[in-house]
């Protein structure tokens, strides 16, 4: 067992692990996220895709409920799980690379009917390069011929309900994918048979349509991270925050979606992000303007927003006093602690660049040092874009 060797202490202040979903186009990344979120964003039924923050937070309570049937008696030491949602941007290697850089663990989605495909291998290479832990979701099990649906059931329970033919096809396809992974230099095994986690990567069969295997996947993610990454997941006040996207939202103007990996963000914080000046000749040293404001002065966070869970929207709509704090489907917060996906509104975010870090200027910080750090950050993002 690979572990960072730090024993858990009760009441330890852990942050939520950050997980990203990767894999070939059409493997089911969006659908899988919809399924664990209990929404149907893909078909546009629930909420606007454009209003997603790009990261979804699942509180421990939610995970506990979803995994109850596994009777794992799971002690969850982490407050929840933050899943970064990049399916909308799949054509950008840079974003995939950024997403995988932020995450503690990844879900590599592989279509059971297809096995490893070009973008699966590309994702795999990114994960290997960054030494990122991952689990394999062997998705679309419901497409096996003759599959009997067992909605949201743990996978072993669902498999017991299947005919010999389905089980045979399942095993054949499993052997095929294990061989394909081997060709990539990786050992893989069904998660409940995996005795060498950390050396051998776990495969969780899932259906994003009928939910089989989803409880197993959630439990595995949380248990694995909290068991092996205590040091990494210990909450730190040292701010670590990355801009995921820059979006114009009606009622808010230009906003940035960020992933707060560590630290606490407050309303009113002075922030610095790097931006490109429009019309510049893209000479890096000249075009960088911090916070995208002409003076290069820090911006002040006006609103810190979290996306409302669907069931919360009704509640808020009925409470008119709270509703005035809310435009669209976001809830306004005074401060937000990591790890979390947050939407920020502030002046001068128009030219902010996704993939760079956000810095908070503290009372004793030197603004010039921070600007220098943003500049370095920008150069590394630009070089990644050039490579991809």
Question: Applying CB under 6 A, which residues contact ligand GDP?
Answer: 23, 25-31, 42, 87, 139-140, 142-143, 207-209
Closest alpha carbon to 229 in 72, 81, 29: 81
CB-based contacts of 106: which residues, under 8 Å, 6+ apart? 19, 20, 21, 22, 100, 123, 127, 132, 133, 134, 135
- Indicate the residue among 103 and 381 with the shorter CB distance to ligand GDP: 103
Q: Which is nearer to ligand GDP, 156 or 286 (CB)?
A: 156
- Which residue's CB atom is positioned nearest to ligand GDP? 28
381 vs 388: CA distance, rounded Å: 11
Which residue bears the tokens 């033919």? 165
Question: In angstroms, what is the minimal distance from the CB of 120 to ligand GDP?
Answer: 10
Q: Are strands 359-360 and 270-272 parallel, antiparallel or unpaired?
A: antiparallel
Cα dihedral angle (42, 44, 49, 51), rounded to 10 degrees? -140
Least CB distance to ligand GDP at residue 341 (A) = 18
Residue of 106, 56, 98, 54 lying closest to 81 (CA atoms): 56
CB of 191 to ligand GDP, least distance (A): 17
Minimum distance between the CB of residue 26 and ligand GDP, rounded to whole angstroms?
A: 4
* 251 token code pair: 């009622």
**Minimum distance, C-beta of residue 253 to ligand GDP, in the bound complex (Å):** 29
CA–CA separation, 276 and 101 (whole Å): 23
Report the residue number, 108 or 208, with the smaller CB distance to ligand GDP: 208
The smaller minimum CB distance to ligand GDP, of residues 26 and 312, is found at: 26
Nearest approach, Cβ of residue 31 and ligand GDP (Å): 3
**Greatest distance between any 2 Cα atoms in the chain:** 70
Complex with ligand GDP: residue 92 or 303, whichever CB lies closer: 92
- Identity of the residue, 143 or 231, whose beta carbon is nearer to ligand GDP in the bound complex: 143
Spatial separation of the C-alpha atoms in residues 124 and 129, rounded to whole Å? 8
């Amino acid at each position: 067992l690979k572990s960072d060797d730090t024993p858990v202490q009760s009441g330890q202040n852990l942050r939520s692990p950050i997980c990203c979903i990767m894999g070939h186009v059409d493997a089911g990344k969006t659908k899988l996220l919809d399924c664990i979120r209990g929404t149907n964003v893909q078909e546009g039924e629930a909420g606007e895709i454009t209003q997603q923050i790009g990261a979804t937070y699942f509180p421990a309570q939610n995970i506990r409920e979803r995994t109850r049937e596994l009777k794992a008696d799971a002690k969850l030491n982490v407050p929840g799980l933050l899943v970064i949602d990049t399916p909308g941007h799949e054509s950008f290697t840079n974003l995939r690379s950024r997403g995988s850089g932020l995450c503690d663990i990844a879900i590599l989605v592989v279509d059971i009917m297809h096995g490893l495909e070009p973008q699966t291998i590309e994702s795999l290479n990114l994960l290997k390069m960054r030494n990122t832990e991952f689990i394999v979701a062997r998705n679309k099990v419901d497409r096996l011929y003759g599959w009997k649906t067992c909605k949201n059931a743990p996978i072993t329970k669902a498999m017991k309900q299947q005919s010999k033919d389905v089980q045979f096809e399942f095993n054949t396809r499993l052997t095929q994918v294990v061989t394909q992974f081997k060709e990539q230099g990786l050992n893989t095994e069904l998660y409940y048979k995996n005795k060498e986690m950390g050396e051998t990567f776990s495969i969780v069969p899932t259906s994003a349509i009928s939910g089989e295997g989803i409880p197993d996947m959630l439990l595995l993610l949380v248990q694995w991270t909290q068991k092996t990454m205590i040091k990494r997941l210990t909450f730190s006040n040292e701010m670590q925050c990355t801009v995921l996207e820059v979006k114009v939202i009606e009622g808010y103007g230009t906003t940035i979606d960020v992933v707060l990996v560590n630290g606490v963000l407050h309303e009113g914080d002075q922030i610095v992000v790097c931006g490109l000046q429009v019309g510049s000749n893209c000479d890096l040293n000249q075009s960088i303007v911090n916070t995208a404001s002409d003076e290069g002065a820090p911006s002040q966070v006006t609103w810190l927003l979290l996306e409302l869970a669907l069931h919360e929207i009704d509640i808020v709509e009925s409470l008119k006093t709270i509703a005035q704090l809310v435009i669209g489907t976001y809830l306004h917060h005074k401060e937000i602690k990591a790890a979390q996906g947050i939407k920020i509104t502030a002046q001068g975010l128009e030219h902010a660049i996704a993939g760079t870090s956000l810095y908070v200027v503290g009372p004793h910080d030197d603004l010039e040092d921070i600007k220098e750090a943003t500049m370095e950050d920008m150069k590394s993002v630009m070089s990644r874009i050039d490579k991809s």
